[in-house]
Chain A
């Protein structure tokens, strides 16, 4: 791959997914994209770049973006956000939404489904507190491939052993040959759809909780600010935002503020001037495709 080929790929990835690759990430691009090139019958990355230049809207470009943006996911990854969910977020929302009994949650970078399913399992564990409630989990990702895996809910033995307590495994999974499949009632709690965070997502409606973890780290500052500001528009004024351990809003936006002693948990900053929203107010509930 020539330096010009690499620059071309960097620009494509930045434009289409927001992914920012530094000059020293050539090895990563080669390791992820060589299999894509070979699958398409191309000999090397040079030929892949030529094919992309010839047909930039082709499915090959989608495959390139998906290969570069697919990241490992674990059940109950980092633990702390799920403790916040159980001990802070849900008690607050159950009190605040007592009248409507509706809570909407968005996993904005759902990958292969471990995060939304971890939230769904956590909700199952508090079943007695949410009888009669409608709790919707919308899970999105840029990659159709990972969403397909998420919908199937099938995981390898290695995947179910990382982060998932054994009691939850035997309670919510069944063995399917060498794989483990998450129970239909948990799968039914999550609605998946493909979404690129660089595009408008206001059609999803307003959420009481947004999990947007380990995706902003791949964006440059300008893109981070843009995404955070648009997240603020779809987060209820008394809602919550959860970011990854290496992510923050500090220096990027004033629309969210940190919560004391709760790493990674943010709330809308109601004292910040509201951003102008185009058109009419956003609907509280919307129909969402997928499962």
Chain B
């Protein structure tokens, strides 16, 4: 079973994403900010990361930059999931090493399509 780390400061979004991804047969780990997420990844790298942009302590962009510098940090597929829906943010995320980008609000079909797109399903 593949693992997915959900990084979002909103417990509601984490809950919704968990329900969708468990339905897609992922084992879920959660973090509520970038700092916690980096600590989690230093212990054990997941197969996938669903990542919010705006979070307290460390935002998604900074987390992604640090993740990609970890040993093996290029392996997890990172899918941004954020309300930052303009082209400039999307381009910046891809440049930082994101594999895909989900604009909130999202539904199961979108998550499934994006995870398929990066070969996670």
- Asked if A162 contacts B91 (CB within 8 A), the reply is no
The reply to whether B109 and A166 form a contact with Cβ atoms under 8 Å apart is: no
Question: For A161, what are the chain B residues with a Cβ–Cβ distance below 8 Å?
Answer: 102-103, 106, 110, 113-114
Across the interface, do B117 and A170 meet the contact criterion of CB distance under 8 Å? no
* Closest A residue by C-beta to B86: A175
Q: State the Cβ distance, A135 to closest chain B Cβ, in Å.
A: 26
Contact of B87 among A158, A163, A170 (CB under 8 A): A170
Docked complex: B64-121 residues within 8 A CB-CB of A: 85-87, 90-91, 94, 100-103, 106-107, 109-110, 113-114, 116-117
Can you list 25 A-B pairs, Cβ within 8 angstroms, ordered by A? A79-B116, A157-B85, A157-B103, A158-B107, A161-B102, A161-B103, A161-B106, A161-B110, A161-B113, A161-B114, A162-B110, A162-B113, A163-B113, A165-B100, A166-B90, A166-B94, A166-B100, A166-B101, A166-B114, A169-B90, A170-B87, A170-B91, A174-B87, A175-B85, A175-B87
Name the residue of chain A whose CB is nearest to the CB of B102. Answer: A161
CA A75 to CA B102, docked complex, whole Å: 15
Within 8 Å by CB of B94, from A79, A157, A163, A170, lies A170
CB of B107 to closest CB in A, whole Å: 7
Known interface pairs A157-B85, A165-B100; 15 further A-B residue pairs with C-beta atoms within 8 A, sorted by A's residue number = A157-B103, A158-B110, A161-B110, A161-B114, A162-B109, A163-B113, A165-B117, A166-B90, A166-B100, A167-B94, A169-B90, A170-B91, A170-B94, A175-B85, A175-B86
Q: How many residues of chain B are within 8 Å of chain A by beta carbon? A: 18
List A residues 150-168 near B (Cβ within 8 Å): 157-158, 161-163, 165-167
User: Which chain B positions have C-beta within 8 A of A165?
Assistant: 100, 117
Closest to B118 in A: A165
Bound Cα distance A161, B113 (Å): 8
A14 to B116, CA, bound (A): 37
Q: How far is the CA of A165 from the CA of B110 in the complex (A)?
A: 11
Number of interface residues of A (CB under 8 A): 13
Interface positions, chain B 24-38, Cβ under 8 Å from A, are none
Q: Which residues of A contact B100 (CB under 8 A)?
A: 165-166
Q: Which 5 A-B pairs have the closest CB atoms?
A: A166-B101, A161-B110, A162-B113, A170-B90, A170-B87
For window 71-99 of A, CB contacts with B under 8 Å fall at 79
CB nearest neighbor in A for B103: A157
Name which residue of chain A comes closest to B114, CB basis: A161
Complex Cα gap A167–B110 (Å): 16
Closest to B85 in A: A157
Min CB distance, B84 to chain A, in Å?
Answer: 12
**Which chain B residues border A170 with CB–CB below 8 Å?**
87, 90-91, 94
**A211 to B32 Cα, complex, angstroms:** 46
0 or 1 for each of A159-199: is its CB under 8 Å from B? (1 = yes): 00111011101100011000000000000000000000000
Q: How far is the CA of A170 from the CA of B102 in the complex (A)?
A: 13
Nearest CB in chain B to that of A79: its residue: B116
Q: Please name all residues of chain B whose beta carbon is closer than 8 Å to the beta carbon of A163 when the two chains form the complex.
A: 113
